[in-house]
Amino acid sequence: MDLPRSFVVRERHHRIHNPIDEVKLAVLGRALQLRPGTTMLDLACGSGEMLCTWARDHGISGTGVDISTVFVEQARTRAVELGVAGSVTFVHDDAAGFVAAEPVDVTACIGATWIGNGLPGTIELLERSLRPGGLMLIGEPYWREEPPDEAAVHGSGIANKNDYSDLPGLVESYGKLGWDLVEMVLADRDSWDRYVAAQWLTVRTWLDENPDDELAPDFRAELDTAPLNYVRYQRRYLGWGVFALRKR
């Protein structure tokens, strides 16, 4: 049980595996008015940067769950670096279906709603671990502009245009599912750059070091096309944000 090796190689130097940078992550923590003692469950937590920095800055505690052995170990190392290893725990497990033993104040799935087979299922999963009146955090893409054709859709890294809506449609969907949107922090193009463009140097360096690896042909093909697709399509058309919800 693990992430595909290609994904781990591509983002091996990332602390945040989404298009939100450390500044926006800090803004989000302040916006949520987190208090010492707040408990949190982060499903598909990646390398644990959100839990670790919020434990340091706001005195929260919590558990992160991720299917990647590499990222879980990075999260544990980061917790030690920031002096919060006694406040946060990281578990190697499949986040799909994971429910906390006791309800928590905040549940989160930032950029991985496939764990619930989409937005409705992920919200339902997160609610199972959330105390009444608690906050839920969802990280989700949306169309910044209407993609004009299939080339723009696929060049944005999306298989099906209808998998996502525009921002008003996404916000409307939260209400239809019975949740109030109470805060949000949206990625901008700079934070998208730091997430996506940083992968290119990582991939190129890895290729230079591993020219005969079985993944090398696919990574070479990716590096031939990914930068142009990103600047031509994804950077323009695809938005992303973290949305804080409270049950109606």
Residues 88 and 51: beta-carbon distance below 8 Å: yes
The answer to whether residue 36 is domain-embedded is yes
Domain contains 216? no
Is 19 inside any structural domain? Answer: yes
175: containing domain? 5-145+164-187+239-247
What is the per-residue pLDDT for 13? 96
Pairing of strands 130-143, 238-247: antiparallel
The predicted structure's pLDDT at residue 216: 98
Asked if the model's pLDDT at residue 52 lies above 90, the reply is: yes
pLDDT over 90 at 32, yes or no = yes
pLDDT value at residue 175:
98
Mean pLDDT, range 50-79, rounded to an integer: 98
pTM, whole model, 2 decimals? 0.96
Structurally, how many domains does the chain consist of?
1
Q: For residue 127, give the 3-state DSSP assignment.
A: helix
Mean predicted lDDT score pLDDT of the chain: 97
Is 58 within the bounds of a domain?
Answer: yes
Q: What 3-state DSSP class applies to 139?
A: strand
Neighbours of 21 (CB within 10 A): 19
Residue 215 within any structural domain of the chain: no
Residue 126: inside a domain: yes
User: What confidence tier does 28 reach under pLDDT thresholds 50, 70, 90?
Assistant: very high
Distant-in-sequence contacts of 113-121, Cβ < 8 A, 24+ apart: 113/138, 113/140, 115/43, 115/44, 119/173, 119/177, 120/177
CATH number at residue 36: 3.40.50.150
Which pLDDT value is given to residue 223?
97
58's enclosing H/E stretch is: helix 49-58
Average pLDDT over residues 29-48: 98
As a whole number of angstroms, the distance between CA 18 and CA 30 comes to: 19
Would residue 35 count as lying in a domain?
yes
- Residue 117 inside a domain? The answer is yes
Segment 95-99 shows an average pLDDT of 95
- Given a cut of 90, is residue 159 above it in pLDDT? yes
pLDDT greater than 90 at residue 179: yes
pLDDT, residue 1, reads 85
pLDDT tens column, 204-245: 999 999 999 999 999 999 999 999 999 999 999 999 999 999
Tokens of 127: 């609610």
